[in-house]
Structure 1
Amino acid sequence: MHQRSGANVRPSELVIIVHGGAGDWPSKLHKQGLSGVGIAADRGFRILSKGGSAVDAVEAAIVVMEDNPVFNAGRGSTLNLVGEIETDAAIMDGKTLKGGGVALLRDIRNPIKAARIVMDKTDHVLIAGEAARKLALANGLAKS
């Protein structure tokens, strides 16, 4: 058994941990936030339990959070200094050490999917701004 953060986990057990953010939430959003984290974890866990990859599970969990306006991700992102939503996302495959990210992305519903495209379909690690938006749209991602 391995012990981390007080939890005992057998090496063969599937585990996914979802973190909903480090900031303070208004008390009226606590229930929604906890529910959202649970839904995200369940989505990722289902992929793992069916033999899916950790990267697929993480991406799916983050999509749930990006689609939930309670979280500072995707739809719920904090506005920039001029009052617009610009999103960033990154993903990495621990087996291959490949990674991909997007920054300053506008008008794309799920930035994590764009980051995955950068990782899987380009030789880049990070693409930003309009170039990231064009790549996302060229690969069929939905606008926000």
Structure 2
Amino acid sequence: MESTKNKYVLVIHGGVGTIIKENMSTEKEAAYLEVLKISLLEGEKVLRNKGTAIKAVEAAIKIMEDSPLFNAGKGSVFTNEGKNEMDASVMDGATLNAGAVASVTHIKNPISAALQVMQYSSHIMLVGEGAEKFVKQQGCDFEEPSYFYDEERFQQLKEAKQNNEVILDHTGENKVLEGNIENGGRKLGTVGAVALDDQGNLAAATSTGGMTNKQFGRIGDTPIIGAGTYANNTTCAVSCTGHGEYFIKNVVAYDISALMEYKQYTLKEAAAYVIHEKLKHQNGEGGLIALDKKGNYIMSFNTEGMYRGVVTTDNKPKVEIYK
């Protein structure tokens, strides 16, 4: 087997959903692809300069968090109360250390806050005001609510309120839709990254602004280790996006790793089973990016599209939206 030492891989996603090509303007598509490419280049710069997989996923996600196009950081959607509540998590495949924040409202880059929880606290997940108090002590960047205000996102909230935010799917059960109404369809908005560095270490990270018009402090799979994010050097690194409730119920990120560890599935086989069989049978929409210790990667989704991209030691950045 070819050694993965001195080789690196970075895979990113910017959410999934009903991304209908006919309803996407050429300008908007170009804007999405441009941010995805910049995200890849920023993360690759870390890896090319012998940085860690953890630092690479943070760098890549911060670019998407700083863009109003993606439902994370600056582009976060609005809750029923007209606030922005953000979640993020990160995991180190070498140590199995992890960090997460949930329901934070003033942190510019929630992914950096999650990393600070991992590095400087004895806990894994911190929530709300307590999370903000802790990361402020670590020097995390904060912003006023006006920084997160986006007129298009606010109009999406008004539209969601008019239409009622809980959609009944064809099975008759309440289906909570994560993300926002956009381009004639619903986009399930999360951003994520997985990386393999030149030392053979894996890392995964995910960040989101949650669900438009969400109520009662709802939290999805993004900050939950094993559901939305997981990394283990012996198997793989995974970042998920989609209907958070389904990803929590099925512990999707860890399930990919477990299938590889206990059933000797390949990464491709594990992802195909979970995304296209297990979730599909439950009417759970979504996707994931994953990367194994050999540098094999997948970008798997059961929706119309997923904002995604990949760069490796040997190949230039490649970004896509549709199937």
* Alignment match, 1:101: 100
Change (3 A) 1:69 1:24: farther
* Alignment match, 2:24: 27
* Alignment match, 1:11: 4
Cα deviation 1:64-111 (Å, max 9, x = unaligned): 110011001100011112111010000000000000000000111000
- Kindly provide the amino acid, as one letter, of the partner of residue 77 in structure 1: S
Cα distance in 1 for residues equivalent to 2:80 and 2:123:
28
Q: What TM-score results when the alignment is normalised by the length of structure 2?
A: 0.41
Q: What TM-score results when the alignment is normalised by the length of structure 1?
A: 0.88
Cα distance in 2 for residues equivalent to 1:141 and 1:99:
18
Cα deviation 1:42-70 (Å, max 9, x = unaligned): 10111001100000000000111100110
Cα distance in 1 for residues equivalent to 2:134 and 2:18:
34
Gaps of 5+ in 2: 144-323
Cα distance in 2 for residues equivalent to 1:20 and 1:105:
20
SS at match of 2:16: coil
SS at match of 1:46: helix
Q: Quote the offset at 1:11 in angstroms.
A: 3.0
Q: Quote the offset at 1:131 in angstroms.
A: 0.4
Cα distance in 2 for residues equivalent to 1:111 and 1:58:
13
* Alignment match, 1:6: none
CA RMSD after TM alignment: 1.6
Larger of the two Rg values belongs to structure:
2
Cα distance in 2 for residues equivalent to 1:109 and 1:118:
15
- Trace 1:118-137 onto structure 2 (pairs within 5 A): 118-137=117-136
Q: Residue 63 in 1 paired to residue 62 in 2?
A: yes
Cα distance in 1 for residues equivalent to 2:69 and 2:12:
14
* Alignment match, 1:78: 77
Gaps of 5+ in 1: 3-9
- Kindly provide the amino acid, as one letter, of the partner of residue 11 in structure 1: T
Percent identical pairs in the alignment equals 39
Cα distance in 2 for residues equivalent to 1:125 and 1:118:
7
- Kindly provide the amino acid, as one letter, of the partner of residue 11 in structure 2: I
Structure with more of its chain in helix, by fraction: 1
* Alignment match, 1:89: 88
Cα deviation 1:8-41 (Å, max 9, x = unaligned): xx73432111111113456132211111111111
Equivalent pairs counted in the alignment come to: 137
- Trace 1:42-57 onto structure 2 (pairs within 5 A): 42-57=41-56
Cα distance in 2 for residues equivalent to 1:95 and 1:81:
39
Cα distance in 2 for residues equivalent to 1:106 and 1:137:
13
